[in-house]
Amino acid sequence: MEENNIDIFKDDPKKSILKIAIPIMVTSIVTTLYNIIDGMWITGLGINAITGIGLITPLFTLINGVASGLGNGIISTLNRFREEYGNDSASTVCSQAIVISIVISIVLSIFLLISLNSYLDIYGGSYLINKEAMNYATPLFLGLICFTMSIIFSNILRSEGNTKRPMYAISFGLILNALLDPVFIYTLNLGSAGASISTILTSLISALIMYYWIFHKKNISTLINVKKVLKSKWDWFITKEILKTGIPASLVLFTLSFSTAIYYIFINLVGGDLGISIYSSGYRIYLLGIMPATALSFSLVILTSTYYGARNIKFLKRAHTYGTINAFIFSLLMCAIFFIFSDQIASIFMMTTNNPPLTEGISLYIRITAFCIPFLGLGLPSAYLYQGTGKAFMSLLWTITSELICVVPAMYFIVYYFNTGLIGIWTGFVVGRGIANTLNFLFARLYIHKLEKKA
């Protein structure tokens, strides 16, 4: 092990959150900046490529959801078992988690490839748009296991507070991806397929770097022995605990993926292909705005799972409090930056093509949806708190409440009652997520209060 990272859990949560969150935040910002650069290269391929790749966004969200959900399930189970049962159980958790992740990746890859045509038929896009979507999606789904294992290995390292090594590996892969994108897309003339090939290739490189650290350099305190687990009797209790958090956590992003598919249908009815292009491009920028809150919230999975396993509810409460305060402050700052500089941000994003209506549409999207960001800073830490304490189903319920019960009706009401077009859709995001995330925060404080009474 590189250093005694586990000692970080003994510090005051106020210090621990930032120590864990800052490397994750850097990784997240690099990831989102890459997505923006990737989007800039893609805009040079034209409106059909932008729209086609945009249609794959819900499926990519699904992939990311499964991988991230499993990763969160690993962190939550691993830290709780380490505190309750010791390092031997933690070793079994890691080993079984890797096997489960490989199996799920293969199954999901086959499912997505088989169902891709049927999925695209739902939107009724043109032949050229569907062709671009197929070109982009096929390499992505074939290499899905590379993307998944990169996330799983990074979460195994992060579970012990070792957040810097995943930052180095993933950031290296993303920077390499940004450099290879124009080569694959334009130099090799692979078009939209080149973008996904570059993504998979660099994900594989990042995964191999972390594999080396975990299995050869042994930069973690937990001994992982996959062969031993496969030869011995399978521990279904551990599998149940991983999936108890992993499945609902995955379904959180599946819900986001499903709701995004609904948004695309709605946006297409109101704004056509231009509306879809605005949303798919603007959403990449929006993700940059929520990255600080996401990183700080993710650190809560690592901390609260450890505190919950040790039955240290006092530190758990303080972690949630400091995590929410920091996430909200960072989110307010990002909201102000996006609102004030929306025109400049949109222009930078569209610098590889000349499309004034698209640029203006993205700018308006950024300016309106910026007001979602502070509300996410308030509610997102609570969603990750539930996952850390093994109650990921609660996180799923609040995501459903936000995206399907609050956002969709708000969007529909504002668009059709006030006849506001795309502006109404963007405003619906703010209203729906604002209500849901505020209620989520209040519910989380009540949940912590109940934990205190039981302690």
Q: Give 389's DSSP letter.
A: T
Confidence of residue 161 (pLDDT cuts 50, 70, 90): confident
How large is the average pLDDT for residues 203-228? 78
Helix (H, G, I), strand (E, B) or coil at 356: helix
Out of 165-174, 249-258, 346-355, least confident range = 346-355
Distance CA 305, CA 386 (A): 9
* 221: Cα separation from own chain's centroid: 27
No. of helices (H) and no. of strands (E), the chain: 16, 0
Distance CA 17, CA 326 (A): 9
Q: Give 386's DSSP letter.
A: H
How large is the average pLDDT for residues 408-421? 91
Name the one residue in this structure whose structure tokens are 């671009």: 132
Q: Which has the closest alpha carbon to 387: 200, 292, 245?
A: 245
Quote the tokens at residue 307: 């505190």
In the predicted structure, residue 4 carries a pLDDT above the cut 80: no
- Model pTM? 0.75
Q: Which has the closest alpha carbon to 365: 342, 348, 335?
A: 342
Confidence of residue 392 (pLDDT cuts 50, 70, 90): confident
Distance CA 353, CA 338 (A): 21
Task: Give the pLDDT of residue 3.
Answer: 45
Distance CA 58, CA 259 (A): 8
Name the one residue in this structure whose structure tokens are 């459903």: 400
SS3 content of the chain, % helix, strand, coil (to 5): 90, 0, 10
Distance CA 119, CA 254 (A): 15
- The predicted-structure confidence for 6-52, as pLDDT tens digits, reads as follows 555 666 787 778 888 888 888 777 776 666 677 677 777 888 888 88
Out of 128-137, 272-281, 416-425, least confident range = 272-281
Q: Are 238 and 182 in contact (CB under 8 A)?
A: no
Q: Which has the closest alpha carbon to 366: 301, 283, 453?
A: 283
